[in-house]
Amino acid sequence: MKALATAVCAAFVGVCAPTAGADPAYPTPDRDPFYAAPANIGDLHPGDVVQTRKIDTGLYAGTDGWQISFRSTNSGNKPIMGITTVLMPRGVKNPPLISYQSLINSLGIRCQPSQALFNGELQDGPTAMVPIARGWAISLPDYLGPDVAYGAAKMSGMVTLDSVRAVKHVAELGLSDVPTVLAGYSGGGMATAWAAAEQPRYAPELKLTAAVAGGIPADLEQMARALGFSAHPGFGLAFAAAMGLEREYPDRLPISDQLNGAGLSFRDAERDSCRRKLLIDGLGHNADEFAKTKKLMDSPEAFAVLHENSLRYSDEVPTVPMYVWQGKDDFLTPFDAVSDVVDRYRKAGAQVQFTPVDVSEHLTAAVIGFPDAWNFVEDKLRAAAGR
């Protein structure tokens, strides 16, 4: 569902131009000092470790866990702090590392993997644990950043790459030289695909073994234009994406200025909500109810931001071997946009295995596609090990 929500922010930003007005509704800061960026974070390099701590992995039997805070970069090229949670298979020395970008689809800090792994909010926990069962370590970054900027794909890719850097910097984990893979679906697939594409420029020293991504929201403008003001079961996530992108681009997308009183009240009530609450609270609502105007899609600045966060309009090309799968009739993430991206990658010399899936339901495609994706990873890891 994140795929839809990411793009439909345009239902609110289509008329936005930079103006002074209501500030974005940022998430409530966590009281845990581990989440607080140090005053000197700007002096650190992307991927530099700020803190590490051992954690109780609770229900994730057979694992040891750590959390790492690190310096990363936002969409405005400003320093921010990131968090990732690492689960290590107990008794396995120097296992391969899987950076798994989970489904977040939320606005609150408690919805990000560093907390959602342990409070019941993580949507794809079972899928994320498949690597552990295969003897691989897994890192789950809070890739939406400290402001939980839902929809900010470009930033999510950089946070993902910096999380891998940070994990490799922690000597006690023993993962500095192990084969490394990126994986994710839907919103996690978008972060994964962006990280793979940005890696040659943003983190050229990282040696990635493979990247697997499915259900990718590859063209946010296309998705936005398909929504408009009509009622939709994913409206709560759509509204959340509008809030998330405003958090990341407050000067370019002053979305709150386009909300009426009811819209501002809904925004304030949902500022810390996770996926399930957003979906439930959004039922029966639409943009017409919350926006001041029906005039859409006429702001070049708004769509410039959507383009900046759409793989279809990026000129970056991954160098890591990729496995991509996409539902042919996926009503959330259009097939043609992903197909076009894959075609561009292949023409540029990238190694991409592309698997269309004959389903229309978004999460069903995840279930169908992940087994082959993990087998692709297994093959690449064996090749890296010379087996």
Domains of the chain: 2-220+307-384 (3.40.50.1820)
> What is the per-residue pLDDT for 227?
58
Least confident range from 109-123, 296-310, 346-360: namely 296-310
Please tell me the distance from the alpha carbon of residue 186 to that of residue 59, in angstroms, as a whole number: 25
DSSP state, residue 302: H
Instruction: Using the predicted structure, report yes or no on whether residue 382 has a pLDDT greater than 60.
Output: yes
Alpha carbon separation from 341 to 192, 209, 312, 367 (Å, rounded): 14, 20, 6, 22
Among 66, 62, 59, 37, smallest CA distance to 50 is for 37
Instruction: Tell me what percent of the residues of the chain surpass a pLDDT of 70.
Output: 91
* Banded model confidence at residue 105, pLDDT cuts 50, 70, 90: confident
Instruction: Tell me what percent of the residues of the chain surpass a pLDDT of 90.
Output: 68
* Banded model confidence at residue 12, pLDDT cuts 50, 70, 90: very low
Please tell me the distance from the alpha carbon of residue 279 to that of residue 234, in angstroms, as a whole number: 6
Instruction: Using the predicted structure, report yes or no on whether residue 19 has a pLDDT greater than 60.
Output: no
> What is the per-residue pLDDT for 380?
97
pTM: 0.92
pLDDT top residue among 48 and 123? 48
Q: What is the rounded average pLDDT of the residues 23-39? A: 95
Alpha carbon separation from 41 to 44, 67, 70, 141 (Å, rounded): 5, 18, 9, 18
Please tell me the distance from the alpha carbon of residue 63 to that of residue 158, in angstroms, as a whole number: 27
Please tell me the distance from the alpha carbon of residue 99 to that of residue 92, in angstroms, as a whole number: 17
* Banded model confidence at residue 14, pLDDT cuts 50, 70, 90: very low
Report the sign of the C-alpha dihedral through residues 291, 292, 297, 299, in that order.
Answer: negative
* Banded model confidence at residue 298, pLDDT cuts 50, 70, 90: low
pLDDT top residue among 357 and 2? 357
Number of other CB atoms surrounding residue 384 within 10 Å: 16
Instruction: Using the predicted structure, report yes or no on whether residue 295 has a pLDDT greater than 60.
Output: no
Least confident range from 94-103, 163-172, 302-311: namely 302-311
* Banded model confidence at residue 296, pLDDT cuts 50, 70, 90: very low
| Torsion, CA 304, CA 306, CA 312, CA 317, rounded to 10 | 80
Please tell me the distance from the alpha carbon of residue 137 to that of residue 83, in angstroms, as a whole number: 16
> What is the per-residue pLDDT for 326?
94
Q: What is the rounded average pLDDT of the residues 326-342? A: 89
